[in-house]
Copies of this chain bind each other. A is one copy, B any other.
């Protein structure tokens, strides 16, 4: 059994486990940094390994367009191509097609769109997505879905139905999870009946893991949490649960509290490139004049390479001078912060102290820096 999910300890709905993959174990809960174009922006793989990052996400849409999934396959697959020996997850390409490309036509068979890179006309179907993701060779691959506005019920009903048809076709195109585990994606926006219907339908296809899609795309935090409250219990206990595109520190706490195992988000690297540090007291704009001669590290007490070697004054200087090293050092800090945060929650679940961690973290986080 190349893939299996081992639950080590639960506390309430929160779970600590290990998702075993052909490229090694993923201790869960886990936060996966995003390497859109087969690189976590500005961060070399060895730095990610040093920070105990155990899973990264790469984007099917981007890699299909450039350098091309067949080229990646020829280079031995994503692990070999980007020199990342640990587990990788690829999304289905659906979300990016709907958010980045110029859509020409969506029909029941698939999506026709223009590449955001060169304007070339492209077609993506559930079968194409499976083929591309097989070429890329990630450990966890995702069913091709339609991601619609989470609050528009009429649109959502059609979208959920289509997502289910596409899930069936993905499962038929990828029936065997020995090499790559195919996860289904539960849709349904913020509507309980749609989410429950989606969770039930997808389980008939017996996926080795289930994602919750279509959140963190416009609804409130309260709506997201409520959606998790009723969606997570509708998923099988013995399979990993993946909340897509979520990485705010407080959302990670609330997601884990509600039984989510896997998260991914561009937020640590994107904020870093915009000069923001993530800390236990909220975000800090590191370009502030107040930091010009501040000898303290970005986050006092942090053990990352950035915080153990450099001052806020130096980081501010790098950002003001548009130096690449600024984006690198803040990316290191932000990824380290989120990775440690999730590891601390895993430790707390195992130690039986998760409720206290949750309460303390959320109180301090709400104070802001």
Contact = CB atoms under 8 A, between A and B. Distances in A.
A297 to B, nearest CB: 11
Interface stretch (A143-151, A175-183, A224-232, A309-317): A309-317
A36 to B, nearest CB: 9
A67 interface: yes
Contact of A66 (B37, B41, B311, B321): B321
20 contacts: A37-B321, A39-B318, A39-B325, A41-B323, A42-B325, A42-B328, A46-B305, A46-B309, A66-B320, A67-B317, A67-B321, A71-B292, A75-B313, A75-B314, A81-B311, A81-B314, A81-B317, A83-B310, A324-B327, A328-B328
A293 interface: yes
A161 interface: no
Contact of A74 (B44, B293, B305, B327): B293
Contacts of A71: 292-293, 313
A43 interface: yes
Given A39-B318, A318-B39, A324-B327, A313 B44 contact: no
B295 A75 contact: yes
Interface in A1-58: 37-39, 41-46
A205 interface: no
Interface of A: 37-39, 41-46, 66-67, 71, 74-75, 81-83, 292-293, 295, 305, 309-311, 313-314, 316-318, 320-321, 323-325, 327-329
Contacts of A310: 83
Nearest to A324: B42
A219 B292 CA distance: 42
Contacts of A43: 325
Copies of the chain in the assembly? 2
A67 B310 CA distance: 15
Nearest to A273: B324
Nearest to A43: B325
A162 to B, nearest CB: 31
Contacts of A81: 311, 313-314, 317
B295 A39 contact: no
A325 B74 contact: no
Contact of A305 (B38, B44, B317, B325): B44
A67 B291 CA distance: 12
Contacts of A38: 314, 317
A199 B361 CA distance: 66
Contacts of A305: 44, 46
A341 B313 CA distance: 35
A329 B37 contact: no
Contacts of A313: 67, 71, 75, 81
A16 to B, nearest CB: 32
A355 to B, nearest CB: 39
Contacts of A45: 309
Nearest to A40: B325
Contact of A328 (B44, B66, B83, B292): B44
Contacts of A46: 305, 309
Contacts of A39: 318, 323, 325
A137 B175 CA distance: 65
B82 A314 contact: yes
A81 B323 CA distance: 15
B75 A293 contact: yes
Contact of A314 (B83, B293, B295, B314): B83
